[in-house]
Amino acid sequence: MHFFRAMIWVIIWSGSGSGSRVDYSANNELVTSKLQIANGKRIMGTELESRMIGRRLKNEFGRKIYKLSLDIGCTCPTRDGTKGTRGCIFCSQAGSGDFSERYTGKQEELDRAKARLGAKIDTGKAGYIAYFQNYTNTYAPAEYLGPLFEAPLADKNVVGISIATRPDCLDPEIIALIRRLCMCTTVFVELGLQTVHDSTAAFIRRGFPLADYDRAVGDLRAAGARVVTHLIFGLPYPSDRPSAEKAELSLESTEMMLESVRYVARSGVEGVKFQLLHVLRGTDLAELYQNGAFRTLTMDEYVDVVVRALSILPDSISIHRLTGDPPRRLLIAPDWSTDKKRVLNKIRERMVGRDQIVSDAVR
Ligand code: SF4
């Protein structure tokens, strides 16, 4: 089915323009439907834009939707001593939320999170999703979390919430809370899976088995939540055979990464977030990297795996992120990842190339 859908991608050519142009929303996600490519031809309405969550939310709510990154003061079982004390091996001290606003339920905190998006946004017209981002946002009693999850909904421009968490932190009280929230607003729940491979999961100190992920997706869907899975490309893992670079660790192969994508595609989620592995200052991963234990992906390798992953996922699964923004003050590698526009352009060019190949094949 996917092949036939790909064959009918619409390409409209025009004879002017050069260079490339891609528009981004305030959180730097790809949102436009227009691209001028180097050979002077213009492609509009490609499949990629229609699969991005920014476009889909705009269609759903009739206006642009922005995420407000919030920190409600949670921790993680891999940090507080329950399953470990040093967190996942790649995770920054801020718990994967280096751009968020501390939130205790006050409107002025929400307004500060809006201000972080930049002055260009028309705050009167824009819609927002309150994004509980830092650490594990269901790793606290439901009585503590409930009022914090509900508070942003008092703002008439907040159209829903998004909760970042782990599959092993969704006990029945939390699922009941999410079910109640789903009755009155849109609720996304983001699950940090990262990989389906046990050896990698153990090495990165993920701290839960794949079975927890399957159970969590089922429970969340039954509660009415829209489930999004987070995957990381470029993870190292200990292998028996030394790699070609004689490193102590091997990077997951493209096939291993795509196995994770296939698993997620079958798991019943509504969305996927792709993330390049960043080596950040102050993490245990940084120490390994600086000792030469592994390398990071090149831009071409990352673009290649993302494009292949996109060809695996059905259209019904929204793409929430093609690559992330590393916190520059913490980033050690890969340095090319700070040029997000270039990465997104390369992904798009590769998609357009595939589009053109398919189009030529059916002429
Ligand atoms: S990746 Fe998620 S679960 Fe792991 S330490 Fe960071 S915030 Fe916690």
Distance from residue 242's CA to the centre of ligand 1 (Å) = 28
Give the position, in ligand 1's atom list, of the atom nearest the Cα of 205. 4
Distance from residue 179's CA to the centre of ligand 1 (Å) = 24
Give yes or no for a cis peptide into 334 (omega within 30° of 0). Answer: yes
In order along its 363 residues, the chain shows pLDDT tens digits of 343 333 332 222 222 232 333 333 434 344 333 343 333 333 334 678 899 999 999 999 999 999 999 999 999 999 999 999 999 999 988 766 668 999 999 999 999 999 999 877 887 789 999 999 999 999 999 999 999 999 999 999 999 999 999 999 999 999 999 999 999 999 999 999 999 999 999 999 999 999 999 999 999 999 999 999 999 999 999 976 555 555 479 999 999 999 999 999 999 999 999 999 999 999 999 999 999 999 999 999 999 999 999 999 999 999 999 998 888 999 999 999 999 999 999 999 898 766 544 444 433
Q: Say what the pTM is.
A: 0.85
Answer yes or no: is the C-beta of 207 below 6 A from any ligand 1 atom. no
Distance from residue 346's CA to the centre of ligand 1 (Å) = 29
Substitution site in 72, 166, 170, 191 for ligand 1 pocket (most atoms within 8 Å of beta carbon): 166
Distance from residue 195's CA to the centre of ligand 1 (Å) = 14
pLDDT (0 to 100) of residue 135: 96
Give the position, in ligand 1's atom list, of the atom nearest the Cα of 134. 7
Answer yes or no: is the C-beta of 97 below 6 A from any ligand 1 atom. no
pLDDT (0 to 100) of residue 127: 97
Kindly list the domain boundaries of the chain, sorted by start residue: 2-353
Angle (CA) 184-229-195 rounded to 5° is: 160
In angstroms, the Cα distances linking 5 to 228, 261, 356 are 23, 19, 14
Answer yes or no: is the C-beta of 322 below 6 A from any ligand 1 atom. no
Residue type at position 335: D
Answer yes or no: is the C-beta of 78 below 6 A from any ligand 1 atom. yes
Distance from residue 96's CA to the centre of ligand 1 (Å) = 7
Contact 74, 136 (CB under 8 A): yes
pLDDT (0 to 100) of residue 242: 52
Q: How many CB atoms lie within 10 A of CB 360?
A: 8
pLDDT (0 to 100) of residue 96: 65
pLDDT (0 to 100) of residue 22: 33
The radius of gyration of the chain from alpha carbons, rounded to an integer in Å, stands at 20
Q: How many CB atoms lie within 10 A of CB 166?
A: 26
What number does CATH give the domain 2-353? 3.20.20
Distance from residue 107's CA to the centre of ligand 1 (Å) = 27
Distance from residue 108's CA to the centre of ligand 1 (Å) = 27
pLDDT (0 to 100) of residue 74: 97
pLDDT (0 to 100) of residue 44: 36
Nearest CA, atom 5, ligand 1? 87
Distance from residue 94's CA to the centre of ligand 1 (Å) = 9
Give the position, in ligand 1's atom list, of the atom nearest the Cα of 135. 7
Could you tell me the two tokens for 5? 């859908």
Nearest CA, atom 7, ligand 1? 135
Contact 190, 235 (CB under 8 A): no
Answer yes or no: is the C-beta of 136 below 6 A from any ligand 1 atom. yes
Q: How many CB atoms lie within 10 A of CB 288?
A: 18
Distance from residue 90's CA to the centre of ligand 1 (Å) = 9
3-class SS letters over the chain: CHHHHHHCCCCCCCCCCCCCCCCECCCCCECCCEEECCCCCEEECCHHHHHEHHHHHHHHHCCCEEEEEEECCCCCCCCCCCCCCCCCCCCCCCCCCCCCEECCCCHHHHHHHHHCCCCCCCCCCCEEEEEECCCCCCCCCHHHHHHHHHHHHHCCCEEEEEEEECCCCCCHHHHHHHHHHHCCCEEEEEEEEECCCHHHHHHCCCCCCHHHHHHHHHHHHHHCCEEEEEEEECCEECCCCCCCCCCCCEECCHHHHHHHHHHHHHCCCCEEEEEECCEECCCHHHHHHHCCCCCCCCHHHHHHHHHHHHHHCCCCCEEEECCCCCCCCCEEECHHHHCHHHHHHHHHHHHHHHHHHHHHHHC
